[in-house]
Amino acid sequence: METKKLGFLILGMSIVLSFIIFGYMGQLSGQEKEFNCNPSNECQQVKSLFGLSHIAVGFLAFIFALGFYLLFFNKDEQAILKKYETEKQGKIIEKPAKEDKFSLLLRPLDDNERNVLTAIKEQEGITQSTLKYRANLSKAKVSQILTDFEKKNLIARKVKGKTYEVFLTGDF
Protein backbone atom coordinates (compact mmCIF):
# COMPACT_ATOMS: atom_id res chain seq x y z
CA MET A 1 0.00 0.00 0.00
CA GLU A 2 3.00 2.29 0.19
CA THR A 3 2.85 3.00 -3.54
CA LYS A 4 -0.76 4.17 -3.26
CA LYS A 5 0.19 6.58 -0.49
CA LEU A 6 3.10 7.82 -2.55
CA GLY A 7 0.80 8.18 -5.56
CA PHE A 8 -1.66 10.29 -3.55
CA LEU A 9 1.18 12.43 -2.21
CA ILE A 10 2.64 13.06 -5.66
CA LEU A 11 -0.78 13.84 -7.16
CA GLY A 12 -1.51 16.30 -4.34
CA MET A 13 1.86 18.01 -4.77
CA SER A 14 1.38 18.28 -8.52
CA ILE A 15 -2.06 19.87 -8.08
CA VAL A 16 -0.66 22.43 -5.64
CA LEU A 17 2.26 23.16 -7.95
CA SER A 18 -0.10 23.53 -10.91
CA PHE A 19 -2.04 26.25 -9.07
CA ILE A 20 1.21 28.07 -8.30
CA ILE A 21 2.62 27.77 -11.83
CA PHE A 22 -0.58 28.73 -13.61
CA GLY A 23 -1.08 31.66 -11.23
CA TYR A 24 2.46 32.81 -12.03
CA MET A 25 1.79 32.42 -15.75
CA GLY A 26 -1.36 34.53 -15.33
CA GLN A 27 0.71 37.30 -13.70
CA LEU A 28 3.21 37.13 -16.57
CA SER A 29 0.39 37.41 -19.05
CA GLY A 30 -0.91 40.49 -17.18
CA GLN A 31 2.57 42.06 -17.27
CA GLU A 32 2.82 41.36 -20.98
CA LYS A 33 -0.46 43.19 -21.59
CA GLU A 34 0.65 46.01 -19.35
CA PHE A 35 3.90 46.57 -21.31
CA ASN A 36 2.09 46.17 -24.67
CA CYS A 37 5.13 44.03 -25.53
CA ASN A 38 7.04 46.24 -27.83
CA PRO A 39 10.62 45.14 -28.28
CA SER A 40 11.75 46.51 -24.97
CA ASN A 41 13.88 45.17 -22.15
CA GLU A 42 10.89 44.40 -19.91
CA CYS A 43 9.17 42.42 -22.68
CA GLN A 44 12.28 40.29 -23.21
CA GLN A 45 12.31 39.40 -19.53
CA VAL A 46 8.63 38.46 -19.62
CA LYS A 47 9.11 36.27 -22.72
CA SER A 48 12.09 34.47 -21.14
CA LEU A 49 10.04 33.84 -18.01
CA PHE A 50 7.25 32.44 -20.20
CA GLY A 51 9.76 29.96 -21.67
CA LEU A 52 10.76 28.83 -18.19
CA SER A 53 7.15 28.52 -17.16
CA HIS A 54 6.46 26.23 -20.13
CA ILE A 55 9.31 23.96 -19.00
CA ALA A 56 7.79 23.96 -15.52
CA VAL A 57 4.42 22.90 -16.98
CA GLY A 58 6.13 19.97 -18.73
CA PHE A 59 7.81 18.95 -15.49
CA LEU A 60 4.50 19.28 -13.68
CA ALA A 61 2.80 17.03 -16.24
CA PHE A 62 5.50 14.42 -15.68
CA ILE A 63 5.04 14.53 -11.91
CA PHE A 64 1.26 14.26 -12.32
CA ALA A 65 1.61 11.26 -14.64
CA LEU A 66 4.00 9.58 -12.21
CA GLY A 67 1.55 10.03 -9.35
CA PHE A 68 -1.29 8.72 -11.49
CA TYR A 69 0.77 5.66 -12.44
CA LEU A 70 1.75 4.91 -8.84
CA LEU A 71 -1.81 5.31 -7.71
CA PHE A 72 -3.59 3.16 -10.28
CA PHE A 73 -1.21 0.95 -12.24
CA ASN A 74 1.77 -0.01 -10.09
CA LYS A 75 1.42 -3.22 -8.14
CA ASP A 76 3.18 -3.26 -4.83
CA GLU A 77 5.29 -6.16 -3.65
CA GLN A 78 2.59 -7.59 -1.42
CA ALA A 79 0.16 -7.96 -4.31
CA ILE A 80 2.78 -9.63 -6.48
CA LEU A 81 3.75 -12.05 -3.69
CA LYS A 82 0.11 -12.85 -2.99
CA LYS A 83 -0.54 -13.61 -6.65
CA TYR A 84 2.56 -15.80 -6.78
CA GLU A 85 1.49 -17.74 -3.70
CA THR A 86 -2.02 -18.39 -5.06
CA GLU A 87 -0.58 -19.63 -8.34
CA LYS A 88 1.88 -21.81 -6.47
CA GLN A 89 -0.87 -23.31 -4.30
CA GLY A 90 -3.13 -23.78 -7.31
CA LYS A 91 -0.65 -26.00 -9.08
CA ILE A 92 -0.55 -29.54 -7.79
CA ILE A 93 2.81 -31.11 -8.30
CA GLU A 94 2.21 -34.57 -9.64
CA LYS A 95 4.56 -37.23 -10.80
CA PRO A 96 5.24 -36.60 -14.46
CA ALA A 97 3.56 -38.98 -16.83
CA LYS A 98 5.63 -41.47 -18.77
CA GLU A 99 5.57 -39.29 -21.88
CA ASP A 100 6.63 -36.26 -19.86
CA LYS A 101 9.59 -38.13 -18.39
CA PHE A 102 10.63 -39.30 -21.81
CA SER A 103 10.35 -35.84 -23.36
CA LEU A 104 12.42 -34.43 -20.47
CA LEU A 105 15.01 -37.10 -21.14
CA LEU A 106 15.17 -36.15 -24.83
CA ARG A 107 15.72 -32.42 -24.31
CA PRO A 108 19.49 -32.34 -23.70
CA LEU A 109 20.27 -34.95 -26.38
CA ASP A 110 21.41 -34.21 -29.91
CA ASP A 111 19.39 -35.31 -32.96
CA ASN A 112 21.18 -38.64 -33.46
CA GLU A 113 20.76 -39.64 -29.81
CA ARG A 114 17.10 -38.59 -29.91
CA ASN A 115 16.46 -40.70 -33.00
CA VAL A 116 18.08 -43.76 -31.40
CA LEU A 117 16.23 -43.39 -28.11
CA THR A 118 12.82 -42.83 -29.73
CA ALA A 119 13.36 -45.88 -31.96
CA ILE A 120 14.17 -47.96 -28.87
CA LYS A 121 11.04 -46.66 -27.12
CA GLU A 122 8.83 -47.40 -30.12
CA GLN A 123 10.06 -50.95 -30.42
CA GLU A 124 11.23 -52.57 -27.18
CA GLY A 125 13.85 -55.21 -27.84
CA ILE A 126 14.91 -53.72 -31.16
CA THR A 127 18.09 -55.22 -32.47
CA GLN A 128 21.15 -53.07 -32.87
CA SER A 129 21.32 -53.83 -36.61
CA THR A 130 17.68 -52.75 -37.10
CA LEU A 131 18.33 -49.67 -35.02
CA LYS A 132 21.08 -48.70 -37.44
CA TYR A 133 18.52 -48.50 -40.27
CA ARG A 134 15.78 -46.90 -38.17
CA ALA A 135 18.04 -44.06 -36.98
CA ASN A 136 19.76 -43.79 -40.37
CA LEU A 137 23.22 -43.93 -38.77
CA SER A 138 26.36 -45.98 -39.25
CA LYS A 139 26.95 -49.16 -37.25
CA ALA A 140 29.84 -47.52 -35.37
CA LYS A 141 27.81 -44.41 -34.49
CA VAL A 142 24.88 -46.49 -33.18
CA SER A 143 27.29 -48.60 -31.13
CA GLN A 144 28.94 -45.46 -29.69
CA ILE A 145 25.59 -43.90 -28.76
CA LEU A 146 24.36 -47.12 -27.16
CA THR A 147 27.57 -47.45 -25.16
CA ASP A 148 27.07 -43.90 -23.85
CA PHE A 149 23.46 -44.70 -22.96
CA GLU A 150 24.57 -47.87 -21.17
CA LYS A 151 27.07 -45.89 -19.10
CA LYS A 152 24.26 -43.50 -18.15
CA ASN A 153 22.10 -46.53 -17.27
CA LEU A 154 19.36 -45.57 -19.76
CA ILE A 155 19.39 -48.81 -21.77
CA ALA A 156 20.31 -52.45 -21.40
CA ARG A 157 21.63 -54.71 -24.16
CA LYS A 158 21.13 -58.46 -24.39
CA VAL A 159 22.96 -60.72 -26.79
CA LYS A 160 20.80 -62.06 -29.61
CA GLY A 161 22.84 -64.09 -32.04
CA LYS A 162 25.53 -61.90 -33.58
CA THR A 163 23.83 -58.67 -32.49
CA TYR A 164 22.19 -57.15 -29.42
CA GLU A 165 18.63 -56.48 -28.39
CA VAL A 166 18.21 -53.04 -26.81
CA PHE A 167 15.78 -52.24 -24.00
CA LEU A 168 15.06 -49.07 -22.00
CA THR A 169 15.95 -49.51 -18.33
CA GLY A 170 13.83 -46.70 -16.91
CA ASP A 171 10.05 -46.53 -16.67
CA PHE A 172 9.41 -44.37 -19.70
Q: Which helix (H) or strand (E) holds 157?
A: strand 155-160
Same domain? 81 vs 142: no
- Assign 54 a pLDDT band (cuts: 50, 70, 90): confident
DSSP readout, 96-108? PPHHHHHHHHHTT
- Assign 144 a pLDDT band (cuts: 50, 70, 90): very high
Q: What is the pTM of this model?
A: 0.44
Same domain? 135 vs 77: no
What pLDDT is stored for residue 160 in this prediction? 87
| Stretch 141-170: mean pLDDT | 89
Looking at the domain assignment, is residue 93 inside a domain? no
- Assign 55 a pLDDT band (cuts: 50, 70, 90): confident
- Of 27, 55, 88, the position where a domain reaches its end is 88
Asked whether 154 and 135 are in contact (CB, 8 A), the reply is no
Is the pLDDT score of 147 beyond 90?
yes
Cβ neighbors of 137 (< 8 A, separation 6 or more) are 112, 115, 116, 145
Q: Which of these, 14, 25, 16, 20, lies nearest to 62 by C-alpha position?
A: 14
- Assign 148 a pLDDT band (cuts: 50, 70, 90): very high
Gap between the Cα atoms of 140 and 103, Å rounded: 26
What pLDDT is stored for residue 38 in this prediction? 61
Same domain? 132 vs 74: no
| Stretch 125-130: mean pLDDT | 89
Is the pLDDT score of 162 beyond 80?
yes
| Number of independent structural domains in the chain | 2
| Stretch 32-61: mean pLDDT | 76
Q: Which amino acid is at 160?
A: K
Cβ neighbors of 142 (< 8 A, separation 6 or more) are 116, 128, 131, 132, 135
Looking at the domain assignment, is residue 16 inside a domain? yes
Higher-pLDDT residue of 146 and 35 is 146
> 1-37: per-residue pLDDT in tens?
577 788 888 888 888 888 888 888 888 778 777 777 6
Q: Which helix (H) or strand (E) holds 156?
A: strand 155-160
Q: Which of these, 50, 55, 1, lies nearest to 63 by C-alpha position?
A: 55
Query: Percentage of residues in the chain with pLDDT exceeding 70?
Result: 84
- Assign 97 a pLDDT band (cuts: 50, 70, 90): low
- Residue 65 belongs to domain spanning: 2-88
What pLDDT is stored for residue 39 in this prediction? 62
> Residue 160 to residues 127, 157, 168: CA-CA distances in angstroms?
8, 9, 16
- Of 55, 88, 121, the position where a domain reaches its end is 88
